[in-house]
Structure 1
Amino acid sequence: MHIRFPRPLSLKPRLALWTDGNAWTNWSRHEAYLRSQPKWKSHQIASVAEESLRIISKTTPIDRPEFQCRGLVVGYVQSGKTANFTAVAARAADVGYRLIIVLSGIHDSLRNQTQKRLDLELAGTGVDWITLTDETTDFHEPEVADGFASTGTVLIVAKKITPILKRLNQWFGKLEGRLAEVPVLLIDDEADQASINTRGNRGDPSIDPDTAPDDDTAPSLTNALIRDILRKIPRATYIAYTATPFANILIDPDASDILVGEDLFPRDFVVQLPRPDGYVGTEELFGTSARGRDVLRSVNPADVKALKSEQRRKSGAIVVRGALDLPQSLADALLTFALAGAIRLLRGQPGKPHTMLVHVSRLQQDQLRIGEAIEEQIRAWFNHESAEPGVLRRMLHSALAGLGAVELPCAEEIILEEAVTNLARLEVVVLNSTTGDELEYDVKPGRQLVAVGGNRLSRGLTLEGLTIAYFLRTTTLADALLQMARWYGFRAGYEDLIRIWTTEGIAQWFVELALVEESLRNSITALNKAGRRPDQMAIRMRAHSKLLLTSKNKSRMQTDDARSWSGEGPQTILFPLYDRELLERNVNLASALLQKYPPTQDAHGGAIAHDVPAEDIALFLRRYEGHPNSIAFQGTEIADWILERAEVGELVNWTVFVASPQRERQVILGGRNFGLVRRSLQSNESIGILIDPRHEGVDLYGGPENYRAAAGYNARAMREERPTQQGLLLLYPLDPEPLRVPVQAVLGLALSLPRTTDGDQRFVVNRGVRHE
């Protein structure tokens, strides 16, 4: 193949940005394509336009004779990162980049998916694109390596595996001497996977003459190949894309290797993409925005044991279990999936993909066994229906009741009839290298798929129309867990049908991960507001109490900051409902506090007591007894921190708010009646979300109404505005009836905490970057 690269464009003088005044030919054609697609709304296209321009403008001007630019773009899992880097690639071609390489994951399925999209939306709509890869063929060195001419932007979409990277590296070796004329953009999708150096760097003999270059101290191979490719390019920009950037942020900013050059730390910029409209992520399913959603379903330990192979502790040997009788929880999930598909069809969504995720084990033998058991169960149900007509309707009727409050598009009988038909449509695909099964949404768009898998479902691959997830996969790593959760994305018209079957422990991990993600994104925003580069100011990441943010060999530069609850809103969501005496002690504790500091104001759906000293709040938090497995609320530690802050004049004055809705069911606290707050169980002992966000503003100037947002109340803004001396304790006397406990009330607690001078939260930071 004869490759024709364009000559460098002559850029107009810079105005506010170096990209100002550019003719956006490729971007304009790509934008026109997006406008022709019904699924793209005008405001979404405007956001892609703005963000892609912001990113390309942060890169180094390409009229410089030599540069190495390193950046990072942080999105959300399954949230439109591909749309963003497609737009960035279009703009890159317009400003003069002559070769664009996209490293698209480590699996063929993801690379092929990305290639198809870029062919359609970029090369197929733009001006003079030359593609060296196609939907079925990865990168091979072209026949004429040095085929530069005056027109065309070259596009390569390659898997991020060592054989392909070696081909690219060898090709660049042959282009040496010509590359000064070729600005290159390298986009690294899923950049926290494989790209990170998990080993060392060879010493520089000019600095340490006693240490010769040594393969034993060399960087890990994928990382070394990417670095070596960039080292060969005089004018190179590297942009990493990921939703889980913990490992990228923790790269040593000073790391360099004598043979392959500097590492991939994003020293020039980090951009946080905005949360897209209609996106359903950790915050919506497990964070404060999850309040009122009926999403979680609990899987008991016996079901987990039945589904997973046993691993011997001493030998490490895997003991594969025999034939599987489908546990009731997975059977319930399957029936609910058939119902969800029926409801979608009757809502007027025919011909749309609909998927259920079954992610239990990384072992292929487990995946095959579960896939076979699901197929056998569906056959058994229909055999039972043949012998006893109507039994399937009764089973689905029970599943419909378990689905909870969902707006039904028609009469229940019609839904049940369609659900029986839909159950027969279910197709089980086991996604691993043994089966070779594929999703095939493009050629079979109306499939009702039960996708069973492990590692292939763990990153990048989009499960379209996902409603039901059965998720038991465990890990010690926060970034891996977030990537495994394929239930994130856009669910227009069926967001209310999302249901997740998992264990209580995994659910609690995700509740805390919502806080981890929020902290990371806030820190990136603070970096950009300060006008600093990532090599000038550390990005702080909230540590997870149970999980590592990323693997230890990717986080050697990690160091911990001191624990702080600055700017947080901790709340109790897990309750020891099995311990009646403990629950009653907590209610009596609240009663005693309100007896000592009786409320003097009724407002905002509750009663307010002012001017409570920090010492009494700390004593109350120490005496309050929560669930032993609670992650989100740790009373004794918070109490210690409050007293530490009080010593320096912070958090010295407290307000206590008692939520009291107008209800007949009441409880007496401190000698007066309070309405009981109704919360439902999400799993055996968890209510999901306790707090009403407006309550965080009850003691602020102007009240909660000053902090209204499009989706309700902006609790985060309330904490930002809260004076450092002023804390807020929120008491929620919960109605015991929906919690199924025989007590007068169950006491839930929350805090609204201001920014204090000891830092935002307990942070993990890169010790190689200045901390401010």
Structure 2
Amino acid sequence: MTEQIPRFSIKPKIPNWTDGAQWINWKRHEEFLRAQSKWKPHQVDSVAEESLRIICKTKPIQRLEFQCRGLVVGYVQSGKTANFTAVAARAADVGYRLIVVLSGIHDSLRNQTQKRLNRELVSVGVNWTTLTSESEDFQTPAIANGFDGAGTVLVVAKKTVPILRRINQWIIDLEGQLENIPVLLIDDEADQASINTKGNRKDPSVDDEPEVDSRDPSITNSLIRDTLQRIPRATYIAYTATPFANILIDPDAVDRAVGADLFPKDFVVQLPRPEGYIGTEELFGVAAVGRDVMRAVAENDVRSLKTKRKKKGAPLVIDSEEGLPQSLCDAVLMFVVIGAIRLLRNQTKMPHTMLVHVSHKQVDQIRIGSAIQQHIKGWRDHERVVPGSLRQMLSSALTDLGMVDLPAVRDIVLDEAMINLSRVQVVVLNSLTGEELGYDEKPGCQLIAVGGNRLSRGLTLEGLTVAYFLRTTTMADSLLQMARWYGFRAGYDDLIRIWTTEGIAQWFVELALVEESLRDSITAMNRAGRRPDEMAIKMRSHSDLLLTSKNKSKMLEVSSRSWSGENPQTILFPLRRPDILEHNTGLTAALLTAHTPTQEAYGGSLVHDVPAVRIEEFLRSFIVHDDTLAFRGDLIADWISERTTVGELTSWTIFVANPSRDRQVLLGTRSFGLVHRSLTGAESIGILIDPRHEGVDLHGGPDFYRTGQNYNARAMRQTRPSSHGLLMIYPLDPQPLQAQVRTVIGIALSFPKTSDESQSFVVNRGVNRE
């Protein structure tokens, strides 16, 4: 038998514009990483692969002019800095001359980023010039155009208005001199400050409508956009773990003064979950089952930490005589015990941190930090008066810790905990105190970090085990960013404990599902080969929280469209367009050539185990009538692609109706009988499918779902495994349809119940979903 060559063949590898690059800086950076004990070989391999993937998605640098917009989505505290450091190394190797990293809005994060890039990139690389230092942000260079002989110029800057104005003015001064200076702008924490929360000024020469209520874009957004538009060859890559606001930017937004907005029209890349990463799924999702992480904070304790102002001008006080609620005392004592366990596990030169995040008010943070210090001093003083009292409290904390592997007998752990209490330092992180974490100066510190906004983004709390978290918000992205307990906890992931309220904990449980849905949708878009401006990224909504603030989500549209448990079918046909009908016939013939039905049953022919991607390709290319609303092949294909990322609809059966009739049509390598259907309108039929056909591939067949003369199609769909879909093809007789073609192809699908059936989703209403 001659082997058939399927139409749906694997595409050959497409050359990348980066092929042939001499990866000098990347290789030196790679060597640096491999020399670090904390980097495992496969982790470096992953950074290598992902950084190359991102660079390849940017526009070829050889073009005389281009503007590229991309988005990289990571996990909170998961190594985004490692990725953009590698991307920067590769960017230098392919020819970028200026790399600007916008690193948050606080000095602490900018300084931390600068230090890391100096260590891992500049000091090991080739021909780098830095215009910023570990202690000094961007200042306008004495010689504006000093690129000759400077190699790759690096700027690590805060994303604040004064700094961005300096950078923007520098670029303005260089206007006309940047033709040979390709620029990469990396925007870390890109959903913070960068999003336009105001308006866009119309161009009266283009827009016919009068300018009404038009406002300037927000200042930070405006400065970034203006800087980019002044650079002939510019790539902008946004990095964030909470990209809701970035995805909801208007794709078509243009301001007459500062140009196009920052929508990631060219690409969105989802970084893989790193091995050993502890995130929402591990602490609050399905993977959290069996973990003893959560500790509930009672409402009375929450109220005792809330400040009250008795009257205008009166000082703020804690509504509690004890100063600290018992739950916070318990958390501090457990932190001391956990620190002792880590020390006895030989984690002696590693920082150990506790997070206390209760209020955004600096006066609260200072007061709570002082109260913790006073309690620690009080416990030690009381121990001198009543020997054994402190040991008893630490013993209770060790019991409350639960079942963990102790590195020594209980008494030795308690001995170490008694000593460890004296090592504990309390640091209040805000602009009033001016304190810093200082991990480099204190590598083995036992640190309680009390703070608010400075702890909410980017800043890494090294060795974090205990968190006391009562900060509420109305937005999912803010809540995820404030959760500093995410990250890598090798050797002590069993010691993570979180004190919070039942309500906040439940928010995080649902956030695990929100994150999963978002990442599935990004994966589906990339698998479909679509750009972000061609296919809307669906984001599961949260029942209690906004995904992001309202002024960042003006393009938000709620969409609950799911085909779970449904049976979409074509009943309206473009009968006056023989070219379209012949296209669909040829498309069907190609599919049946690649996957030829061989099993005859129930008035038709079947072929099993067809990959979902073949069904998606078929549906995307199948052309329906312009007035069809219920059956949109491209949208259904997108949905199928999304479901396959969670293990649903991965395997398909194709059923071709094949009645015993003299009138037949050749589809692929064999003939099929034509199905008779009558017109009920100018171009429509009543019902396409035979009800029994939805059960042709189910155990027991359609007769199992038969009652008298009727078939229960709904029961068939409910019984169908979530991993299996059914495509039914009906080659219709063209004569009763008054069509001048060989056949009219009708198609239908039988979908099982899937896990998204009752969920509400959010999409960007400005994205072209055709």
Task: Name the TM-score, length of structure 2 as normaliser.
Answer: 0.73
- 1:383 deviates by 1.3
**Residues 406 and 26 of structure 1, relative CA distance in 2, 3 Å threshold:** same
- 1:207 deviates by 2.5
SS at match of 1:30: helix
Q: Where does residue 390 of structure 1 map in the other structure?
A: 388
1:179 aligns with 2:172: no
For residues 496-538 of structure 1, the C-alpha deviation after alignment (integer angstroms, 9 at most, x for no partner) is 0000000000000000000000000000000000000000000
- 1:208 deviates by 3.8
- 1:321 deviates by 3.1
- 1:723 deviates by 5.4
For residues 20-78 of structure 1, the C-alpha deviation after alignment (integer angstroms, 9 at most, x for no partner) is 12110000000000011110000000000000000000000000010000000000000
- 1:286-325 equivalences under 5 Å are 286-310=284-308, 320-321=317-318, 325=323
Q: Where does residue 668 of structure 2 map in the other structure?
A: none
- 1:268-347 equivalences under 5 Å are 268-310=266-308, 320-321=317-318, 325-347=323-345
For residues 703-722 of structure 1, the C-alpha deviation after alignment (integer angstroms, 9 at most, x for no partner) is xxxxxxxxxxxxxxxx8625
**Residues 375 and 163 of structure 1, relative CA distance in 2, 3 Å threshold:** same
Matches of 1:191 and 1:318, distance apart in 2 = 37
8 A contact 2:68–2:234 mirrored in 1: yes
Q: Where does residue 493 of structure 1 map in the other structure?
A: 491
1:22 aligns with 2:21: yes
Q: Where does residue 444 of structure 2 map in the other structure?
A: 446
1:218 aligns with 2:216: yes
1:94 aligns with 2:96: no
Q: Where does residue 202 of structure 2 map in the other structure?
A: 203
- 1:761 deviates by 3.9
8 A contact 2:719–2:752 mirrored in 1: no
SS at match of 1:195: coil
Of residues 421-430 and 531-540 in structure 1, the stretch that sits farther from structure 2 once superposed is 421-430
8 A contact 1:250–1:556 mirrored in 2: yes
Aligned residue identity for 2:223: L
- 1:39-118 equivalences under 5 Å are 39-118=38-117
For residues 174-203 of structure 1, the C-alpha deviation after alignment (integer angstroms, 9 at most, x for no partner) is 111111111100000000000000000011
Structure 1 stretches lacking a partner, 5+ long: 1-13, 568-646, 656-698, 702-718, 726-752
Aligned residue identity for 1:198: T
Q: Where does residue 553 of structure 2 map in the other structure?
A: 555
Aligned residue identity for 1:321: I
Aligned residue identity for 1:102: V
Aligned residue identity for 1:492: A
8 A contact 2:129–2:150 mirrored in 1: no
Q: Where does residue 544 of structure 1 map in the other structure?
A: 542
Q: Where does residue 721 of structure 1 map in the other structure?
A: 723
Matches of 2:247 and 2:62, distance apart in 1 = 28
SS at match of 1:373: helix
Matches of 2:503 and 2:527, distance apart in 1 = 37
Q: Where does residue 639 of structure 1 map in the other structure?
A: none
- 1:393 deviates by 1.1
**Residues 548 and 410 of structure 1, relative CA distance in 2, 3 Å threshold:** same
**Residues 83 and 415 of structure 1, relative CA distance in 2, 3 Å threshold:** same
- 1:650 deviates by 9.3
Aligned length: 591
8 A contact 2:338–2:495 mirrored in 1: yes
Q: What RMSD in Å do the two structures reach over aligned CA positions? A: 2.8
**Residues 230 and 651 of structure 1, relative CA distance in 2, 3 Å threshold:** farther
- 1:88-487 equivalences under 5 Å are 88-150=87-149, 152-208=151-207, 211=210, 217-310=215-308, 320-321=317-318, 325-487=323-485
> What's the % identity of the aligned pairs?
69
- 1:762 deviates by 1.9
8 A contact 1:306–1:324 mirrored in 2: no
8 A contact 2:70–2:238 mirrored in 1: yes
Q: Where does residue 681 of structure 1 map in the other structure?
A: none
**Residues 700 and 420 of structure 1, relative CA distance in 2, 3 Å threshold:** farther
**Residues 521 and 497 of structure 1, relative CA distance in 2, 3 Å threshold:** same
8 A contact 2:71–2:238 mirrored in 1: yes
Matches of 2:175 and 2:136, distance apart in 1 = 25
For residues 568-618 of structure 1, the C-alpha deviation after alignment (integer angstroms, 9 at most, x for no partner) is xxxxxxxxxxxxxxxxxxxxxxxxxxxxxxxxxxxxxxxxxxxxxxxxxxx
Matches of 2:416 and 2:554, distance apart in 1 = 55
For residues 398-435 of structure 1, the C-alpha deviation after alignment (integer angstroms, 9 at most, x for no partner) is 11111011000010000001001111111000111111
Matches of 1:317 and 1:458, distance apart in 2 = 29
* The structure with more radius of gyration: 2
- 1:137 deviates by 0.6
8 A contact 1:651–1:724 mirrored in 2: no
Of residues 761-770 and 251-260 in structure 1, the stretch that sits farther from structure 2 once superposed is 761-770
8 A contact 1:100–1:155 mirrored in 2: yes
**Residues 36 and 428 of structure 1, relative CA distance in 2, 3 Å threshold:** same
**Residues 423 and 171 of structure 1, relative CA distance in 2, 3 Å threshold:** same
- 1:158 deviates by 0.4
8 A contact 2:722–2:754 mirrored in 1: no
**Residues 412 and 26 of structure 1, relative CA distance in 2, 3 Å threshold:** same
Aligned residue identity for 1:485: A
SS at match of 2:318: coil
- 1:649-660 equivalences under 5 Å are none
**Residues 197 and 317 of structure 1, relative CA distance in 2, 3 Å threshold:** farther
For residues 604-634 of structure 1, the C-alpha deviation after alignment (integer angstroms, 9 at most, x for no partner) is xxxxxxxxxxxxxxxxxxxxxxxxxxxxxxx
**Residues 316 and 228 of structure 1, relative CA distance in 2, 3 Å threshold:** farther
- 1:771 deviates by 3.4
Of residues 389-398 and 49-58 in structure 1, the stretch that sits farther from structure 2 once superposed is 389-398
SS at match of 1:145: coil
Aligned residue identity for 2:116: R
Matches of 1:299 and 1:566, distance apart in 2 = 39
- 1:209 deviates by 6.6
- 1:724 deviates by 8.2
Q: Where does residue 655 of structure 2 map in the other structure?
A: none
- 1:244 deviates by 0.2
8 A contact 1:203–1:213 mirrored in 2: no
8 A contact 1:132–1:142 mirrored in 2: yes
**Residues 165 and 395 of structure 1, relative CA distance in 2, 3 Å threshold:** same
Matches of 2:547 and 2:315, distance apart in 1 = 28
**Residues 353 and 246 of structure 1, relative CA distance in 2, 3 Å threshold:** same
Aligned residue identity for 1:525: T
Aligned residue identity for 1:447: C
8 A contact 1:724–1:755 mirrored in 2: no
Q: Where does residue 663 of structure 2 map in the other structure?
A: none
Matches of 1:332 and 1:250, distance apart in 2 = 42
8 A contact 2:185–2:235 mirrored in 1: yes
Matches of 2:54 and 2:218, distance apart in 1 = 29
Task: Name the TM-score, length of structure 1 as normaliser.
Answer: 0.73
Q: Where does residue 514 of structure 1 map in the other structure?
A: 512
Aligned residue identity for 1:307: L
**Residues 293 and 756 of structure 1, relative CA distance in 2, 3 Å threshold:** closer
Matches of 1:184 and 1:391, distance apart in 2 = 63
Matches of 2:692 and 2:115, distance apart in 1 = 59
**Residues 89 and 391 of structure 1, relative CA distance in 2, 3 Å threshold:** same
Matches of 1:319 and 1:650, distance apart in 2 = 68
For residues 230-273 of structure 1, the C-alpha deviation after alignment (integer angstroms, 9 at most, x for no partner) is 01001000000000000000000000000000000000000000
SS at match of 2:356: strand
- 1:369 deviates by 1.2
SS at match of 1:181: coil
- 1:149 deviates by 1.7
- 1:318 deviates by 9.3
Matches of 1:541 and 1:311, distance apart in 2 = 40
